[in-house]
Amino acid sequence: MPSTRELRRRIRSVGNTAKITRAMQMIAASKMRRAQEAVVEGRPYSEHINSVLSHLAALERGSDDTSVPLLEARDVKTTGIVLVAPDRGLAGGLVSNLTRVVERAIGELDSPVTVVAVGRKGRDFTLRTGNDLKAVFQDMGDNPSIEDTRAISNIIIEEFESAGVDQVLLAYSRFVNTAIQTPVIDTLIPVTPAELSGDEAVGFIYEPSPIEVLGQLLPRYIEMEIYHAILEAIASEHSARMVAMKNATDAANDLIDDLTLQLNKARQEAITSEMLDIVGGVEALG
Amino acid sequence: MARFTLTIVTAESQVFSEEADSLVAPGIEGQLGILPNHAPLMTQLQPGEMTVRVGNDEVVMAVAGGFMEVLNNRVTILADTAELDTEIDLERAEAALERARQRVESRPADIDFARASQAFRRAQIRVTVARRRGRRRSPVMPSDSTPGATA
């Protein structure tokens, strides 16, 4: 049985831990709300660019004299992966769930892999598994603008166009709801626009020309996809952290209850034995 | 009178979504005006000034390039950035312009130079748009305008 002093010390220490985890939980909750809003606000752009892209791609398929590199499926000799993971841990199983899926995907590929890591945890994973690390982006903050993500898409588009990689995958944690974040891996390049239903294909006037518009639009599309993935990843990170910290706070409070019970028992025992001592002493005198 | 639906979105948010009577946008091959029942059009936009007319109100915006799609009286603008003139802080815009000017004048290497001059152009437009705001006659703030209110 630990002494009452030892028990008091542990209760205080666990209480301090609970205070920290509780604060982290509340910070994560407010950041999560903002991140979710950002995801929702970016959605109209992503819907519109998808529909515009479908129109253009339908046209590009119609004419076979020109080809746009970013739409072109090549034999895959090297695969690029844009891995979007958090900078920090303490987010429950979020990072390990993501890296498990990525590791499996890498195992299934026949080609060597080049990783562009967004977030420190993505970098750590790449180095630990011994994969080629092309670039690292970290400290994006909780509220990145699309400008911040432009450098990422530039690197990856350049790699693809210079045939450094023949396809590009995008891996991140999709935010489903507060309790569920699913790791997903999408093909980013070559871009596969959604098919149009027949009557939607109308004769547009294009300025300057369809191919040029498409050539300008595709990098924007890739930027937007990466930006969107980062927003999803941020929302996932904060909700995972919120849940993890809530569990930690609850566990700490349970522990405090147990320790308090032990403390009270120890205190009563001490009192009882002191009284027995006194009574014994009085009897011996009498 | 016929109107068209104008939606202006950036990657970060939806800036504008209303019925409009006309639109003047900075197309890649020159300013172009859109009226209701325009033919289907898909164009790139260059950095410039965009004017939307809703009834008697005018909304002026600075856009930093993007794309515009016109289809079945729906106009969709995918802008890189889009700011209402009322949202631009003139002093800060002027300071940004000055910084951009210095960067262009310091003559950096090729790629940086292209980027710097683009940034300079965007800053110029923001300042122009913000300056003009002070001189416009419309007593109604564009952000208060609702479609149909003046029809």
What is A130-155 written as a DSSP string?
A: T-EEEEEE----SS--HHHHHHHHHH
* Closest-approach residue (CA) in chain B for A55: B42
**pLDDT averaged over every residue in chain B:** 80
| Residue where one domain finishes, among candidates B86, B117, B139 | B86
What's the pLDDT score for residue A199? Answer: 52
Say yes or no for a CB contact (<8 Å) between B42 and A55: yes
Q: Which letter does DSSP use for residue A196 in this model?
A: P
Which chain B residues touch A146 with a CB distance below 8 Å? 10-12, 80
| Same structural domain, B113 and B70 | no
Cβ of residue B18 closer than 8 Å to a chain A Cβ: no
Q: Are residues B78 and B94 in the same domain?
A: no
Task: Say if the Cβ atoms of A220 and B42 lie within 8 Å.
Answer: no
Does B68 lie in the same domain as B50? yes
Instruction: Please check whether residues B79 and B113 belong to one and the same domain.
Output: no
Distance in Å from the first CA to the final CA of chain A:
34
A200 vs B39, more confident: B39
Mean of the pLDDT values across residues A76-101? 91
How big is the A-B interface in CB pairs under 8 Å? 77
Instruction: Encode pLDDT of B100-135 as tens digits.
Output: 888 787 776 666 677 777 778 888 888 888 777 665
Q: Does a structural domain hold residue B22?
A: yes
Please give the tally of structural domains in chain B: 2
Query: Domain locations in chain A?
Result: 4-21+245-285, 23-242
pLDDT at A200: 56
Nearest residue on chain A to B30, alpha-carbon basis:
A207
How many residues would you count in chain A?
286
Q: From B27, B55, B86, give the residue that closes a domain.
A: B86
Sign of CA dihedral A258, A92, A87, B81: negative
User: How far apart (Å, rounded) are the C-alpha atoms in residues A87 and A138?
Assistant: 7
- The distance of A26 to chain B (nearest Cα, Å) reads 25
| Interchain CB contact of A48 with B (< 8 Å) | yes
Q: Which ipTM score applies to this complex?
A: 0.71
Identify the band that residue A190 occupies on the pLDDT scale cut at 50, 70 and 90.
Answer: confident
Asked whether the beta carbons of residue B42 and residue A216 sit closer than 8 angstroms, the reply is: no
Distance (Å, rounded) from C-alpha B105 to C-alpha B99? Answer: 10
Assess whether B75 and B9 both reside in one domain: yes
pLDDT in tens, A228-280: 899 999 999 999 999 999 999 999 999 999 999 999 999 999 999 999 999 99
Window from A149-158, A209-218, B46-55 with minimum mean pLDDT:
A209-218
Q: Is residue B39 part of a domain?
A: yes
* Residues B93 and B109 occupy one common structural domain: yes
The answer to whether A185 and A197 have CB atoms below 8 angstroms apart is no
Residue B119 belongs to domain with CATH number = 1.20.5.440
Cβ within 8 Å, pair A216-B67: yes
Does residue B137 lie within any of the structural domains?
no
Q: What is the pLDDT of residue B134?
A: 61
SS3 assignment, position B13: coil
pLDDT at B140 over 70: no
- Could you say which of B13, B29, B71 has the minimum Cβ distance to residue A202? B71
pLDDT (tens digit, 9 = 90+) per residue, B15-42? Answer: 888 899 999 999 988 899 999 999 888 8
What is the span of the domain harbouring residue B39? Answer: 4-86
Choose the CATH number for A23-242 among 3.10.620.30, 3.40.50.150, 3.40.50.300, 3.40.1380.10: 3.40.1380.10
Rounded Cα distance, B52 and B59, in Å? 5
Confidence of residue B148 (pLDDT cuts 50, 70, 90): very low
Give buried/exposed letters for B25-60 (b at 16+ CB in 10 A, else e). Answer: bbbbeeebebeeebeebbbbbbbbbbbbebbebbbb
Residue B70 belongs to a domain with what CATH number?
2.60.15.10
Q: How many CB atoms lie within 10 A of CB B74?
A: 11
Helix (H, G, I), strand (E, B) or coil at B3: coil
Cα distances (Å, whole numbers) of residue A183 to A71, A124, B134: 25, 17, 51
> Does B80 lie in the same domain as B109?
no
**Residue B144 forms part of a structural domain:** no
Residue corresponding to tokens 């008091």:
A8
Same domain, B23 and B97: no
Instruction: Indicate yes or no: CB of B67 within 8 angstroms of CB of A212.
Output: no
B66 assigned to some structural domain? yes
The DSSP-derived string for B24-83 is EEEETTEEEEE-TTPPPEEEEEEEEEEEEEETTEEEEEEEEEEEEEEETTEEEEEES-EE
Position A44 pLDDT exceeds 90: no
Task: State which residue of chain B sits closest to A146, comparing Cα positions.
Answer: B11
Count of CB atoms within 10 A of residue B87's CB?
12
B17 and B79 in a single domain? The answer is yes
Considering the domain architecture, whether residues B22 and B57 belong to the same structural domain is answered as yes
B64 and B47 share one domain: yes
DSSP at A70: G
Q: State the pLDDT at residue B128.
A: 81
In 3-state terms, what secondary structure has residue A76?
Answer: coil
The answer to whether the Cα torsion of A217, B111, A157, A89 is positive or negative is negative
Asked if residues B61 and B50 have their Cβ atoms less than 8 Å apart, the reply is yes
Residues 6+ apart with CB under 8 A from A286: none
Omega into A2 within 30° of 0, i.e. cis?
no
B16 and B54 assigned to the same domain: yes
